[in-house]
Amino acid sequence: MTRHLVSIDDLRNDEIEALFACADEMADLLAKREPCTLLAGRIMATLFFEPSTRTRLSFEAAMHRLGGGVISVPDAASSSAAKGESLADTARVISQYADVIVMRHPADGAARVLADYADVPVINAGDGSHEHPTQTLLDLYTLRKEKGTIKGLTVALCGDLRHGRTIHSLAAALVRFGAELIFLPGRDLEMPDHLSRRLALRHGCRLRRARVSGVQFLVDRLDALYLTPSGPPDEFAFSEEATLREFGERLEKIDALYVTRVQRERLGAGGGDAPYPVKTDAALSDPRYRETIVMHPLPRVDELPYALDADPRSKYFKQAAYGVPIRMALLLALLEARRIFPAAPALHPAEPGPPAAPDGRAGVVISGRDGATPPCPNGRCVTRREALYLPPAFRILARERGAASHALILSCVYCDAEVAGTAVGHLGQRRYARYDAPLEELAERWAAEGALAVFAAEADAQAAGYRPFPPGPSRTVLSAEEVAQAIADLARRIAEAHADLGRVRFLGIRTRGVTLARRVAALLGAGGGTAVPVGALDVFEFRDDTTPLDPGAPAGTDVPFGLEGHAVVLFDDVFYRGRTVRAAMHAITHGLGLGRPEAVQVAVLVDRGHREFPIEPTFVGRAIPTSRRERVFVRLREDDGTEEVVVQAPIAEA
Ligand code: CP
């Protein structure tokens, strides 16, 4: 099986360690200046469709040092790419001339396409702003050489984190090796969402953000920072205050500062005018940074002063020099001139092409011919350039649940950019439905069968000639009388549980939870009973499993009383997985600033019997077990003009 290096995730940690051991040997060989013939008779093609000094020349030096030959396309104008030749054809042709291909290309995801069509190993020497895995190898090698280990190091990554491909590969690798990271982006140059999600999904590492405008330490001109969490996930520790506290602790020990230039070639008109973080001359004089090394993938522009070059902590030229032994080791490994990689199964075995989905789900690829997926949203994606033969292709990465809408998050197979699909369809039946939780299983089945279509919006499905699925069968599980009885039961149980209703406060989760709380409060207050105050909670901003699809939606929290020392009863209409209630708990304990309640209980009209978290409702109107593939609609007369609970299958399948 031909192995490629397209993403740093194509190599396991033990394989990277094995490359380092080989690089040590190669460095000794270079020091002795002894002739080497390990790759005699082999040819490497270097295709550089973007400028390079270090990567191209160090690869070529590595091949020459190993006794091999080099053929080269040194710039975009000097190959038939300038006449419009596709990457697929380039791969097929150059595979006949060379034993390994090293390519740099301006399109995100270009290296993956080349690897898909080449018969020889392909090495990604930088594809647009996507990845630069061999730079990461020498960055990790530098850290290990200078610090003896990578695990436990604190590394600050600074500058253009949005477009810096070296950062994208390096951040993922550092987390894998157990380093702790501080991200110090320039304004509007934060890491792309897909990288944050990759760190979260693949490595369980959800970043924390804090504003730090005006803070000055190793670099100047910062607006915000991000941290990797240092301990096990603590869902209540994501406040800005906690992040700043941890930042303060981490500042005491920064092992490496990794500086990058602004990638002007990837910014639109007017881009790059915002203040950019720069390394200040004086910063390293702080005794805390006595041992902090400074790294840079180079070239530098003005973010790193020349005065720093003589400082023994500056390692960027040494870092560049390591490019030769590291790339010698990589060439030996991929050309199998030596058994370097441990014999364990490869990370992405069997089929050539893209790796399994990053969150570990089966790597089902959905491919968008005939408008049956959205285009890749990344204007620099290779699918935009090579559209004649390369349709958009995605994996299902995650599901997002918004207040009003749900979405399937798709990840581009080539460039990792994300797009949200709010409607799903069946390719054979040419029907579509709005995507929501009950459609998850069905959509997964269609994907496995190769029949899933995904649309950014229902209008796109209609434009592609799809008709809506008819709604599935529905059944009324609670009549108006039964709903009223269930609410009365809730009121009775709450009264039984609280001898002193004067200490109780009701919080309804918008929208029907508020109505429910008011109905229960009215029953308890009837005939001179205690009037329990009712507040409204909009938990959407506290949900960590969603990102707002409708960010302009008004916040609906209205709690005109304190909670300190009170017994709080949280109301919701339906208890399903427990995510809403968990978010409401978070809001109460951390977000509202209304004091610490003595206890929080949960009251729901309908308990569907599913659990994702160890949260149990205390008061249940009716337990109504339902399948995950069903929708439950609670209708209350104040909100809906009618009163019932209905269970419905989302679609009637043909
Ligand atoms: N670090 C790096 O990729 O340098 P070049 O652009 O000069 O290859």
| Joined tokens for residue 25 | 């040997």
Top pLDDT among 235 and 332 is at 332
> Mean pLDDT for the chain?
87
Name the amino acid, one letter, at 454: V
Nearest to 483 by CA among 268, 647, 344, 645: 645
Taking 90 as the threshold, does the pLDDT of residue 608 lie above it?
yes
| Atom nearest to 55 CA in ligand 1 | 8
| Atom nearest to 50 CA in ligand 1 | 6
The residue contributing the CA closest to ligand 1 atom 4 is 54
Side by side, the strands of the sheet bearing 423-426 are 452-455, 423-426, 431-434, 467-468
Cα–ligand 1 centroid distance for 146 (angstroms): 21
Helix H segments across 512-578?
Answer: 512-525
Q: What per-residue confidence (pLDDT) applies to 621?
A: 96
- Pairwise CA distance, residues 603 & 214, whole Å: 46
Cα–ligand 1 centroid distance for 572 (angstroms): 56
Pocket test of ligand 1: the residue of 123, 135, 266 to mutate, having most ligand atoms within 8 Å of its CB, is 135
Q: What per-residue confidence (pLDDT) applies to 613?
A: 73
- Pairwise CA distance, residues 532 & 451, whole Å: 53
Which residues touch 447 (CB under 8 Å, ≥6 apart)? 364, 366, 396
Top pLDDT among 366 and 505 is at 505
| Atom nearest to 53 CA in ligand 1 | 7
Nearest to 277 by CA among 124, 435, 104, 159: 159
**SS3 assignment for 326-391:** HHHHHHHHHCCCCCCCCCCCCCCCCCCCCCCCCCCCCCCEEECHHHCCCCCCCCCEHHHHCCCCCC
| Atom nearest to 297 CA in ligand 1 | 1
Confidence of residue 226 (pLDDT cuts 50, 70, 90): confident
Of 121-130, 517-526, 552-561, 609-618, where does mean pLDDT reach its minimum? 552-561
The strand pair at 467-468 and 431-434 is best described as parallel
| Atom nearest to 125 CA in ligand 1 | 3
Q: What per-residue confidence (pLDDT) applies to 540?
A: 65
Taking 80 as the threshold, does the pLDDT of residue 422 lie above it?
yes
Cα–ligand 1 centroid distance for 42 (angstroms): 24
Pocket test of ligand 1: the residue of 298, 326, 327 to mutate, having most ligand atoms within 8 Å of its CB, is 298
The residue contributing the CA closest to ligand 1 atom 3 is 55
Cα–ligand 1 centroid distance for 226 (angstroms): 26
| C-alpha pair distances (Å), 410 with each of 91, 119, 129, 357, 453 | 27, 29, 19, 10, 12
| Atom nearest to 126 CA in ligand 1 | 3
Cα–ligand 1 centroid distance for 626 (angstroms): 57
Taking the CA atoms of residue 128, residue 129, residue 130 and residue 134 in that order, the dihedral angle to the nearest 10 degrees is 80
Confidence of residue 356 (pLDDT cuts 50, 70, 90): very low
Cα–ligand 1 centroid distance for 342 (angstroms): 29
| C-alpha pair distances (Å), 264 with each of 108, 170, 274, 287, 289 | 16, 20, 12, 34, 30
Q: Cα angle vertex 134, ends 364, 390, to 5°?
A: 35
Taking 90 as the threshold, does the pLDDT of residue 322 lie above it?
yes
Nearest to 194 by CA among 387, 349, 357: 357
Q: Is 218 helix (H, G, I), strand (E, B) or coil?
A: coil
Name the amino acid, one letter, at 524: L
Cα–ligand 1 centroid distance for 185 (angstroms): 20
Backbone φ and ψ for 332, nearest 5 degrees, come out as -60, -40
Cα–ligand 1 centroid distance for 265 (angstroms): 14
**Contact (Cβ atoms closer than 8 angstroms) between residue 383 and residue 390:** yes
Backbone φ and ψ for 605, nearest 5 degrees, come out as -75, -45
Residues with CB under 6 A from ligand 1: 52-55, 126, 135, 297-299
Tell me which DSSP letter residue 588 carries. Answer: I
Which residues touch 323 (CB under 8 Å, ≥6 apart)? 54, 55, 58, 62, 134, 138
Cα–ligand 1 centroid distance for 259 (angstroms): 14
Q: What per-residue confidence (pLDDT) applies to 405?
A: 62
Count of beta carbons in the 10 Å neighbourhood of residue 357? 20
| Joined tokens for residue 473 | 């069968």
Top pLDDT among 353 and 413 is at 413
